[in-house]
Chains A and B, each alone.
Chain A
Amino acid sequence: DAKTTQPNSMESNEEEPVHLPCNHSTISGTDYIHWYRQLPSQGPEYVIHGLTSNVNNRMASLAIAEDRKSSTLILHRATLRDAAVYYCILSRTSGTYKYIFGTGTRLKVLA
């Protein structure tokens, strides 16, 4: 399974955009890029996923590098409720999805 590398922690001010980076240099052509987040005392929740093109949804945007070796999760306006651990995960499109979680980035949002 391909691995991802994320910073251990990041800080952001409330109401400001947050860019959470992820490196996945060993990604293969059939790997989707997923982002999940885990709020304190809760199970992980889906944020967004993409394959090659940038993606937007109501929660966030996902910017994928042209060579797909890195991606960035963008929270457009961070709120205190966005404080969580954010996981960048790769998963193959063929066969079964094994979401292999790394250590993630702990995001702290300052009021």
Chain B
Amino acid sequence: DSGVTQTPKHLITATGQRVTLRCSPRSGDLSVYWYQQSLDQGLQFLIQYYNGEERAKGNILERFSAQQFPDLHSELNLSSLELGDSALYFCASSQRVSDTEAFFGQGTRLTVV
């Protein structure tokens, strides 16, 4: 158990809908990362937050947004969903903004039908 909690574990939704994925980092970790893993793309870095502020952005679509709240949990919002958004979404956390070890959650499997 990495200490990073992601909910829900599974999510099935229809195209065009909007969903919110939640991540609770390890106790004491200030930095949260989001990744998308699909079969044909591998693990893609989406975005990083540190202590409530956005710190790095990767290949995140405009339809996707994220935030980190004062209690340090983070949410990834996915809207106008398409079939291609079906993937595993991982959250990771680390203590600092620049850290050598990140801890990953078990992921949320999103299926868009």
Q: Any chain A CB within 8 A of the CB of B55?
A: yes
B43, B48, B98, B100: the one within 8 Å of A44 (CB): B43
Q: Is B17 an interface residue (CB 8 A)?
A: no
Q: Which residue of B lies closest to A49 (CB)?
A: B100
Q: Which of A15-23, A66-74, A92-100 lies at the interface with chain B?
A: A92-100
* B56 CB–A CB distance under 8 Å: yes
Number of interface residues of B (CB under 8 A): 27
Quick check: is B42 within 8 A (CB to CB) of the other chain? yes
Residues in A with CB closer than 8 Å to B99 are 97
Task: Tell me how far the C-beta of A46 lies from the nearest C-beta in chain B, rounded to whole angstroms.
Answer: 5
Interface residues of A in 54-99 (CB under 8 A from B): 87, 93-99
Q: Mark B43-61, 1 if CB is under 8 A from A, else 0.
A: 1110010100001101000
Q: Is the CB of A101 within 8 A of B42?
A: yes
Decide: B33 and A99 in contact? CB cutoff 8 A.
yes
Per the bound structure, the CA–CA distance linking A16 and B89 in Å amounts to: 34
Shortest beta-carbon distance from B32 to chain A in Å: 12
Q: Are B102 and A99 in contact (CB under 8 A)?
A: yes
Q: Is B86 engaged at the interface, CB distance under 8 Å to the other chain?
A: no
Tell me whether A43 and B106 are in contact (CB under 8 A): yes
- Size category of the binding interface on chain A: 20 to 34
Contact, CB under 8 Å: B92 / A43: yes
B103 touches which one: A38, A46, A49, A103 (CB < 8 A)? A46
Taking CB as reference atom, which chain B residue is nearest A34? B100
Q: How far is the CB of B51 from chain A (nearest CB, A)?
A: 12
Interfacial chain B residues near A46, Cβ < 8 Å? 101-103
By a CB distance below 8 angstroms, the chain B residues around A102 are 42
Q: What residues of A have a CB within 8 angstroms of the CB of B42 in the complex?
A: 101-104
Contact partner of B56 among A38, A93, A96, CB < 8 A?
Answer: A96
Query: Residue on B with the closest CB to A51?
Result: B100
Q: Which 10 A-B residue pairings sit nearest by Cβ, starting from the closest?
A: A43-B104, A101-B43, A96-B56, A46-B101, A96-B55, A49-B100, A44-B104, A98-B56, A43-B90, A97-B98
